Structure 1
Amino acid sequence: MKIVVISYHTFNSRRKAGFHFIAKELSSLGHEVFFITAGLSLLSKIKGDQRYKSAKTYRADLGFISHKESGVNFYSPIEVLHPVGIRVQFIEDIVNYLLVRKAPPAAVRAEILTADMIVVESCVGLVWLDFISENNDLEGKKIIYRVSDDLTFMGVNRLLTRSEYNLIKKDVFDIVSCPVDVIARKFDCLSDKVIVQQHGLDNYFYDIPWDNPYSSLSNRKNAVFVGISRFDSEVCNVLIENFPEVNFHFIGECVGIKGAPNSTVYGVLSFEETIKYIVHADIGLQTIRVSETDMFKYSLKVLQYSYAGLPIFGPECLDTKWGNFYGYKDRTVVEICRTFRSALGRSRDLSARHHVSTWKSLVQRWL
């Protein structure tokens, strides 16, 4: 079966997201997979988007390239302009009307029209599918919407939120797969195809006996943060200052961390390097800024920490109720320190592992 996967990400990026694993698992099951990056343009170059650099590295203008290890064919088309969020609505509407192209590039459209199945995440790919669906050209195809983000919260271009609404309302999708119930409740009134399906993991990588990256450090506990979204540097700086006996490691675009002997910011590491820091850590940090009802409760990093058996430290509203979460009620120094001290007293425990599913089991439910 020919499957087109439309993602925000570039397939060859160092940082791996869920859609990378979804594409690889579909390929491992014997399907011909085409991974297409959506939302790249010359504007991305001006903004310093890392995806643009990844795309140009593989000469995006040449079309699809086969990934030797996974067998996935990937393509990162670069357009003149793509939809970007503009705070003033009438200006955004004018820009969209005059400059933004809603139709996908010709090469992308051809792959979509010849696909048996399409999997799309919360990205510009929704605008492409909405445009194509106007002529009923998507009929007969199995289409999965794997909701990766709350688009309304993220402040994206309104073309994306309108297309998302249109596609769900018109029942274009066979499945609207949501990682958390908070998101699913937004769409329940629009379609009966909405279901909750947690993120997965490729457990194999976490069971490898990786070298310990902390082995050269003194015999102290190590806390790790992985990610880029809504990082709360203020809470982390409180921890660094009040727990000098703990080493803090930050992987990703973690801005605002004060320099200290017990803190290290690594930037974005490869997937394999990141896993080493997770499986050998003592505490997983879920220190992000959140609302009371947030879709990050079962984020990929929470699943990674849980599978590795780590106690997790973060805002109380993100407590998974799996028995391994230590949540602070507010961001006062006293509360942060009290909660982190409790997490420090918790040893590694694999009891939360049974809550973590695999990417393979997820995609098998779509086929």
Structure 2
Amino acid sequence: MNDTACTAQQKYLLLSAHDYRSPRKAGIHFVASELAKMGPTRFFSLRYSFLSRYKHDPRLSLDDQANKIVTHQGVDCYLWKTLIHPIRIRPFESLMYHLYSFGFNRVLRRWIRESDVIILESGVAPIFFDLIKRLNPCAKILYRASDALDTIDAAVYIRNTFARIAKDIDTIVMPSKALADSMPSTHNLAFVPQGIDYSVNEKANPSPYGEGIHAVSVGSMLFDPQFFVLASKRFPQIHFHIIGSCQPRHPDYGNNVSVYGEMPFDKTLPYIKHATLGIAPYSSVNLPAYLRDTSLKLTQYEFFGLPAICPHFIAADYPSRFGYDIGDEDSIAQAISRALNPPQPFSKRTVLDWAQVTARMLAPKQFSDTEVFA
């Protein structure tokens, strides 16, 4: 397809292993919200089954709504629960993905037929490309590369499928130019960075904190509890707040560490806005370069003007970030001290709002800042 839709009214479909109703938000949720303002929008959630309970899938709270169409905040949602879903068991892995790719679900097939624009998120969604082309060859297909498939250790079947179909996708949307090297196609790439909902500034009140210095960590990706073991002892005057790490309280945390469970996105905002420091305590140095640009929590820290403390590799040359060596107490202490007393004021980077992000995804050629190789 083409920038011209086959029908007068645009209908949007997103295929993802996220669910639009989940309390934890990723970029794809905000894109869906913007699309819902423009036309009928549907969010189909993949790779969920009876096995998911053993993987602590964050969608388990929605299990009673599986295999039902539920409208949530203006978006039609469907969590496709199967008996089993494709898992990494050789030699059956590729066969399982191949069978799954036929999409034997009447809602999925109907929504594909009725859609003008279909967005596939990196992960399992690309395996449905052939099904989409059979059922609705007129649909415009976008691929949102939230992660490189090698980085998330996607199944060989998914990687092989993506390598085959990449050139035929209308637009491959990358939130970081560093992802370009992992793409098997170049003519259809578009750079569209992470966005922010500017209204969060109004939603992020009042402060949940008392007096003093407060540092916050949000999320569970490669969470390193040792950071807080070391930092809490070294800085007893700082109150550290850990939200949604998916790990129990470490026995060696100081009394100045508060641990919170999974928290709806909106409830995390006051903890970020009113903190003194933001922390991204990644546990590995083997991180992809694109994470510097795509981390939603780092984007939020920057939007609210928080100095961010993270490993050197992620800090890179961002003036608002203060890097440390993982597991090195002195290095962590130096990063925190520099963040509390930065050598010079740093200016906030301009961040697109989600409406601007979505507009660039749908029509990248209309914007000069979406070029990858400029």
The alpha-carbon deviation at position 234 of structure 1 amounts to 1.8
Which secondary structure does the structure 1 equivalent of 2:111 belong to? helix
Q: CA separation of 1:55/1:302 partners in 2, compared to 1, >3 Å: closer, same or farther?
A: same
The Cα of 1:94 is off from its aligned counterpart by 5.8
Matched, 1:244 2:236: yes
- Which segment is superposed worse, 111-120 or 316-325? 316-325
Alignment pair present for 1:106 and 2:115: no
Find the aligned partners of 2:136 and 2:84 in 1 and give their Cα distance.
25
Pair 278,102 (structure 1): closer, same or farther in 2 beyond 3 Å: same
Per-residue deviation, 1:145: 0.6
Please tell me whether the aligned partners of residues 130 and 163 of structure 1 are also in contact (alpha carbons under 8 angstroms): no
Residue 102 of structure 1 deviates from its aligned partner by 2.1
Residue identity matched to 1:109: R
Report what 1:220 is aligned to.
212
Amino acid at match of 1:12: R
Q: Which shows bigger deviation, 206-215 or 270-279?
A: 206-215
Equivalents in 2 of 1:234, 1:213: separation in Å? 25
Per the TM alignment, residue 245 of structure 1 is displaced from its structure 2 partner at its CA by 1.0
Instruction: Say if 2:338 is the partner of 1:342.
Output: yes
Larger mean CA deviation between 101-110 and 275-284 belongs to: 101-110
Q: Does 1:266 align with 2:294?
A: no
| Higher mean displacement: 292-301 or 1-10 | 292-301
3-state SS of 1:339 partner: helix
Report matched runs for 1:173-252 at 5 Å. Answer: 173-187=169-183, 189-208=184-203, 210-215=205-210, 219-252=211-244
Q: Secondary structure at the match of 1:118?
A: strand
Residue 230 of structure 1 deviates from its aligned partner by 0.8
For the structure 1 residues 348 and 115, does the alpha-carbon distance in structure 2 shift closer, same or farther, using more than 3 Å as the test? farther
Distance 2:62 2:106 in 1: 21
Q: Can you give the 5+ residue segments of structure 2 that lack an aligned partner in the other structure?
A: 1-9, 363-374
The code of the aligned residue for 2:39 comes to H
Please tell me the residue identity of whatever aligns with 1:185.
D
Displacement after TM superposition at 1:233 (Å): 1.7
Structural mapping, 1:1-367, within 5 Å: 1-28=10-37, 30-56=38-64, 59-62=65-68, 64-67=69-72, 70-86=73-89, 89-90=90-91, 92-93=93-94, 96=97, 100-104=99-103, 105-133=105-133, 135=134, 137-169=135-167, 171=168, 173-187=169-183, 189-208=184-203, 210-215=205-210, 219-255=211-247, 257=250, 258-288=252-282, 289-291=284-286, 293-298=288-293, 299-319=295-315, 321-329=317-325, 331-346=327-342, 351-354=347-350, 356-367=351-362
State how far apart, in whole Å, the 1-side matches of 2:221 and 2:82 are: 26
% identity of equivalent residues: 28
How many Å separate the matches in 2 of 1:83 and 1:332?
40
Report SS of the residue matched to 2:31.
helix
SS at match of 1:291: coil
What is the CA–CA distance in structure 1 between the aligned matches of 2:124 and 2:300, rounded to whole Å? 28
Following superposition, the deviation at residue 207 of structure 1 comes to 3.5
Residue 211 of structure 1 and its aligned partner are, at CA, apart by 0.9
- Shift, 1:238, TM fit: 1.2
Aligned partners of 1:34 and 1:74 also within 8 Å: yes
Q: TM-score, normalised by structure 1?
A: 0.88
Instruction: Supply the AA of the counterpart residue of 2:28.
Output: F
Mapped to 2, the partners of 1:165 and 1:84 lie a distance apart of 20
Aligned-partner Cα distance in 2 for 1:238–1:18: 32
C-alpha displacement of 1:101? 2.5
5+ residue gaps, structure 1: none
Indicate how the Cα distance of structure 1 residues 233 and 35 shifts in structure 2: closer, same or farther if over 3 A, else same. same
User: In 1, distance between residues paired with 2:246 and 2:124?
Assistant: 26
Q: 1:48 to 1:339 in 2, by over 3 A?
A: closer
Post-superposition Cα deviations, 1:314-363, rounded to whole Å, max 9, x if no partner, equal 11111253421111245422212112211122499672142x11111011
CA distance in 1, matches of 2:343, 2:324: 19
